[in-house]
Structure 1
Amino acid sequence: MDNRKRQPSSSSAGSLVFWSSSLPRQAARVLIVEALPPGWSDTCSVLCDALDNFLSLACSLDGPCRIPLLSLYAISRQPECLLPFVQVRGNLARLRSCVEELRSIPGESCIKSAAKGGDLLRQAVLDSLQQFKQFIRHTSTGNQACSNASVEVTVVTSQPGRSLIHQLESGLKGADLVPLRRLLVVQIVGSQVLINQTPLHSVRNSPSSHENEKYSLMLGTEVDLQQVENSVFAMEMVLKAWLQEQGGDREHLHLLLPSPSDSPLPVCVKCDMLERLISPALVPSTPSLGVKTESVRDFLPAVKGPGNQSPTPQRLRVIKVLHADGVCESVLYGLPLVIRPTTCWQLDWDEMETNNSLFHALCQTLRNQDLFLLLRVEPDPLVVPGTGVCSHYVLQPSPSVSLLLKPVASRELLLPCSLPVSNQDPSPNAMNSIQ
């Protein structure tokens, strides 16, 4: 493998702490990018922009470490390790340099055969696993957490995903894949392709994948195919799945329902919990996200200047009208604030009466048409535009002459959440137990 000689990023001792956190099951990550023609010229800027955005977030997050280690490979003329395993937190400069290196790979290459590309991909997977084993061996020094660590490999390609998985399963058959927990092939496709067919998430469980079933990587290793649109947002969501807890050793939650009269035990429904948002409190570089809404004082802008000045009014600009049934509660966070027309004594009676009429009309219009408003905080004129992430809020009407203001997550904070929709009814026994 063509592995560029780079200096280690930090002491090996620092690598150990990331497996002893409140997210102990987080796997190390390997990203393998197929920079092959003709697809690379179309996907290069999209993937690199998504990587840059994602790493900017991941490197700055407070709290327990969500990505202990990251390695990056590119396949063009040959497999090339652009980034040996490094810690993500605190390494933004180096990671961005690696993304720019990936961006500089030309859209044309001497590799023309998909079969040859598949062979190079197999080499990259095996080399990443060998590199991970060596890293753990040299840094564990008897540390039990590191010795039990695992790695997940994500391959980004423009090739047909099914045939690529077929090549990988055939090529990796019999190889030592002990630390590999999951192999995910992400196929970037056009939006029209996604409209015409259902995206796949588990090739091995797909009805049309019987050909692949005769190959088996290893017990305990998942092989998945995910098709995504060629857009920055879609690729960001693929990468942000790395931030979610990967544990599965035991369930997170038990729901206890009242038992029938003839049973002493409650009906227990066992559940897992999934994060929907990155908490704004974990993003220290963006204080304007509106982390706190516990009181009016938390919401108002900070007073600048000497003396006990009164806080200036917060200015929120309406940027979009939303249908109420199109707003998902999972993207809202924090405590809501009730909004009413002002009773400030410094306003004259005519202005106050006009303001009350405008407020009443706004409430009635939103309520009658079942609409919400999306608001954005007006930037401070003293702050350079484009720095940080702006706060956004949803304004919804109530039956009384009042409105409810709720913080809403911006795109940067959203985590992937793709839950299945079932067209089948539950079993009669289950319905009887719940009812």
Structure 2
Amino acid sequence: MHMRTTRLVGTAPLALSIVLALTACGGSGSSDEGQATEFLPGEVLTLTKTTQDGSTQEDHYLVHGVTADGDLLTDETAKHLTGALVALPLEAAGVPLDGSRLAQLRHFYKQLWKGIAERRNDGSDIAAEIGAYETDVEALYEDYRQSEFASVTDYVAFYEQVGENPYFDSQESVEEELVQFFYQTGWRQGAWLQALQRQQWDWPRFLQLMAQRGDTFGGLLNQYRAGGSSRMDDFVARYVNTPLIKKANFQVKSASGGSDSIFYVINPKWKFWDKNFERSDVIDQYGFSVSRYYASIISPKNKNPEAYDFGSRHGFLCKTLVGVHGRANITRAEVAYSIYIETTGNYVFDHESNSWIRGHWLRKIRIDGHAYTDYSLALGRNVVGEAEIKDLKGVTGNYGITKPIFNIETKMSVPKIFNTKVWKTTHTIDLDAPEICTTLKK
């Protein structure tokens, strides 16, 4: 599917989303490139995560081969299959799954595979596409069961149509915002389509209307919260019958801190630790290359971060030990990222109003990723990180100066090996109580 659905988030402040879908090769050892590792259908694979506080979580998966018709096999025949491998979970929330549950997941996978293949009909590697989803097969299955769709084909079409719209296909966070919209409203996707039909609308036409208005699913959720009605039909009717007002200069990567906030966020979502993104030649005092990608929380009156004077820097180092093993210990790596926050003065001059605005500004919020070389370079060098500023609010601090408090949500994945999202962690940032991970020298 064009859409990569995600496991529902927001149920815990430190959510661990371990998801596994494998390609037939990986990396391990101490060499730069790592040694080829080939997981076999029928073997049990273990994924581990150990956080900085010493807590460890293990998840077990059964590796399957995929036939040309989308069947999942674990017998001797499967060992001769080429291409993507699929790992199905052997437990849910720590409770082992029985054979009937695995059979349901295998059947759902084949229906999912067939639905995509019938819609594409272009020779796409469907198994690789499913392996690229941001969640595991079991979570997709549960999402489908709750969606109120009559068939997996309808389920596939719903998400494919979002990705087929160029406006939404260009938005990196559209899938997560879409999942959050239905999660937060409590509405089901199938019931949503029925509500559209009662207004003589369909899903592609509704998506096109959103595109014309420059709306996102995050914005749609805000409209729901502000609308004063929890009835789906009322919401749909109000949206489709409101005269079109096209927003000019819509920017996905810029967002305010809220209508009542004095803060403005530049680049609230960005990637780090990705070889496809440019790195600086500058090496910081800890020996790490400095990323050129960062966020800023500044005044909407002056949206140029470089216009703010440097005040001080706060640094925090967060570590995670990750590993995967099957027949033997195959590969592991200690990965880490540093959060750097540069503050500025308490006032910023607004030339438009010819006055000074009082607040506590953060001109750069930067995250640098790195791996420790005493473990697997092959695993560590293929980690991709993503950071996002969320839940920003202004709070009155010392001397009556408004300061920002917010969360930094980080996601790390190893797409070359797992081809999917892996870890998700949220850090609450309050500069009056900045004890997140290990505080570096300020």
TM-score range, shorter chain: under 0.3
Relative to the length of structure 2, the TM-score reads 0.23
The higher relative CO (CA closer than 8 Å, separation ≥ 6) is in 2
TM-score normalised to structure 1 length = 0.24
The structure in which a higher percent of residues are helix is: 1
